[in-house]
Amino acid sequence: MVNKAIFKSYFGKLLAGTTTTNHEGAAAYALSPREALAQYAVTGTFSDTFYADAGEQLDAVMRLGAEVEPEFLAKLAVYAADKGHIKDMPVMLLAMLSGLESDAFARAFPRVVKSGKMLRGFVQVMRSGVTGRKSLGSRPKKMVQAWFDRVTTEQFLQAMVGNDPSLPDVIRMVHPKPRDAKRQALYAWAIGKPYDIAALPAEAKAFEAFKRDSSLPLPPVPFQMLTSLGLSKEQWSEIALKGSWQMVRQNLNTFARNGVFELDGMAERLAARIADPEAVRKARVFPYQLMVAWHMANRSVPAVVADALQDAMEVAISSVPTIGGNVVVCPDVSGSMSSPVTGYRKGATSAVRCIDIAALMAASFLRRNRHARIIPFEQDVVNVRLNGRDSVMTNAAKLAAVGGGGTNCSAPLRLLAKEKAAVDLVVFVSDNQSWMDAQGHGQATEMMVEWARIKRLNPAAKLVCLDIQPYVQTPARAEDVLNIGGFSDAVYGAIASFAAGKSGPGEWVRRIEATDL
């Protein structure tokens, strides 16, 4: 007899057989080179993850980068920086691009390297030798020099924060040509050489004066340049009140440690600012960033400030689409999801786990789609009662507190098929390393078998597999399945377009290809 697992019908079509194995050795479908490189670009941080170490990620990115044309590599670098909000991967892609015979490098560089942090990251990658050379080379050097020429004094001072390499190190490497006497003095001041104090920009003058007399007004420089100067509580409070919305969000523990919240009314003033809807929208804050702040806020941060982060979250999730019909979201709560979302890195491991992100996305969908059904899963479905009227943080915490078993991505679909449920859209948020429902290699996955059962009753239904880790295998692949990666707001637009029938399974890659250089 024929193998029924292979020859099961999917609306008159054969279910596709698997083409690879995942990190658990279970049969899966391989992403195309473009999809795989995009997956690494928006989730990879070159840190060890639950299943793969940093070296494996680097080798895979180098190999895949050689399989795509320079134009796509450039667009992917821009997309990862602008939409994925990843720091290491875009500069790695730029470094790879710098060695290719294409003008795409020059067009992509200013779109990716907009800050001193990205500049230092690019120089660090180039000097590491991972792309084949340990010097910048003439083209990259010219682009770095052009960066110095176009940045403002404020941007230059912001770039002075950070090391390995520091901005002065980069100046010594590329020898940028000063455009005027003021910039010449600024370069000399930065690298510790004699400079014309009269020509020094006002911000740097004020900083030098403050170092001599801390009773003077605070200079308009990044606060990190002032931390060694023994600032008072009142001065730290001034920094907090003058800082950008994002800066305040990122430094709540620093303010607590330096006594800001001990001053009357400061906790309430900062809380009001954090929760201000207009300020949240203007800052373009993403739900993930707020979850990080909420997780990182220690007990010395007043409750009113922590609550303000929850209020800001309600504003931030406005980008989550409202989708008509029957929506089901399936967050993966298995054991592998307990690993840090950005991987393990000595001294810099994130407190936010993969399960927290899956829970956040599920809770956000529920908040915007009150009738959505949430089905957490591990080796089987997990029963968790959620209330769509509860805050995103509350529901996310409930989801993140369950699970821990093996991964079985077919479990939620089996439940829906058994119930003969009406389904329009199913969204999985997972690392996609399903193994407890493993089929033989070459056969259709159990997830696709169960999806076929659902499709017989819901022919227009669509399935989204949202992967939040740098893995390139999926348990589902078909014309009605969208595989997408990342955990920034960029995924929501692609999901909404796919759900509305405005795009197909290649929507994610098409959005990257549409990036303007």
Cα dihedral angle (435, 437, 441, 443), rounded to 10 degrees? -150
Residues 327 and 430 in one domain: yes
Average pLDDT over residues 100-105: 93
pLDDT at residue 308, rounded to an integer:
96
Q: Please state the length of the chain.
A: 517
Identify whether residues 260 and 196 lie together within a single domain.
no
Determine the pLDDT at residue 347: 64
pLDDT digits (tens, 9 = 90+) for 316-329: 988 788 999 999 99
> Both 273 and 411 in a single domain?
no
Query: What are the residue ranges of helices labelled H in 151-243?
Result: 153-159, 167-174, 181-190, 202-212, 233-242
* 4 pLDDT higher than 60: no
Residue 14 has pLDDT above 80, yes or no: no
Does residue 514 carry a pLDDT above 50? Answer: yes
pLDDT > 80? residue 217: yes
Last residue of a domain, one of 263, 291, 319: 319
- Is the confidence at residue 24, as pLDDT, over 90? yes
* Residue-level pLDDT at 3: 42
Q: What is the pLDDT of residues 354-387, one digit of tens each?
A: 999 899 999 999 999 989 999 999 999 999 988 8
Sheet containing 20-21: which strands, arranged edge to edge?
A: 20-21, 27-30, 473-474
d(CA 513, CA 507): 10
Judge if 434 and 456 occupy the same domain.
yes
46 lies in a domain?
no
Whether 479 maps to a domain, the answer reads yes
pLDDT grade, residue 240 (50/70/90)? very high
Mean pLDDT of 35-43: 91
**Which of these ranges, 105-114, 133-142, 171-180, 475-484, has the smallest mean pLDDT?**
133-142
Does residue 193 share a domain with residue 125? Answer: yes
* CA 511/CA 304 separation, integer angstroms: 40
For 56-72, what is each residue's pLDDT tens digit? 888 999 999 999 999 99
Q: 53: pLDDT confidence band, cut at 50, 70 and 90?
A: confident
How buried is residue 11: exposed, middle or buried, by Cβ count under 10 Å (0-12/13-18/19+)? exposed
369 located within any domain:
yes
Question: pLDDT tens, 403-459?
Answer: 889 999 999 999 999 999 999 999 999 999 999 998 777 789 999 999 999 999 999
Using alpha carbons, select from 447, 436, 442 the residue that is nearest to residue 403: 436
Domain boundary among 202, 221, 240: 221
Look-up: residue for tokens 């207009």?
278
CA–CA separation, 149 and 177 (whole Å): 8
Is residue 469, in this structure, part of any structural domain at all?
Answer: yes
pLDDT at 44: 79
Is the domain of 162 the same as that of 234?
Answer: no
255 and 362 housed in the same domain = no
Residue 6's pLDDT band, with cuts at 50, 70 and 90, is: very low
What's the pLDDT band for 13 if we cut at 50, 70, 90?
low
- The band of 38, judged by pLDDT with boundaries at 50, 70 and 90, is very high
- Same domain for 235 and 119: no
Percentage of residues of the chain with pLDDT beyond 90 = 69
Residue 283: give the domain boundaries. 229-319
> Which pLDDT band, with edges at 50, 70 and 90, does 348 fall under?
low
**pLDDT band of 154, cuts 50, 70, 90:** very high
Please indicate, yes or no, whether residues 77 and 123 belong to a single structural domain of this protein.
yes
When comparing pLDDT for 352 and 26, which is higher? Answer: 26
- pLDDT surpasses 50 at 204: yes
**Least reliable range by pLDDT among 235-249, 343-357, 500-514:** 343-357
Residue 16 lies in a domain: yes
Distance CA(156)–CA(486), nearest Å, equals 30
Pair 338, 275 in one domain: no
Asked if residue 113 belongs to a domain, the reply is yes
Rounded mean pLDDT of the chain?
Answer: 91
pLDDT tens digit string along 478-492?
999 999 998 787 888
Does residue 8 share a domain with residue 59?
A: no
Residue where a domain stops, chosen among 221, 250, 284: 221
Q: What is the SS3 assignment for 461?
A: coil
The CATH number given to whatever domain includes residue 426 is: 3.40.50.410
Do 167 and 240 belong to one domain?
no
- Has residue 38 been placed in a domain? no
Number of structural domains (the chain) is 3
On whether residue 40 sits in a domain, the answer given is no
Query: Is the confidence at residue 287, as pLDDT, over 90?
Result: no
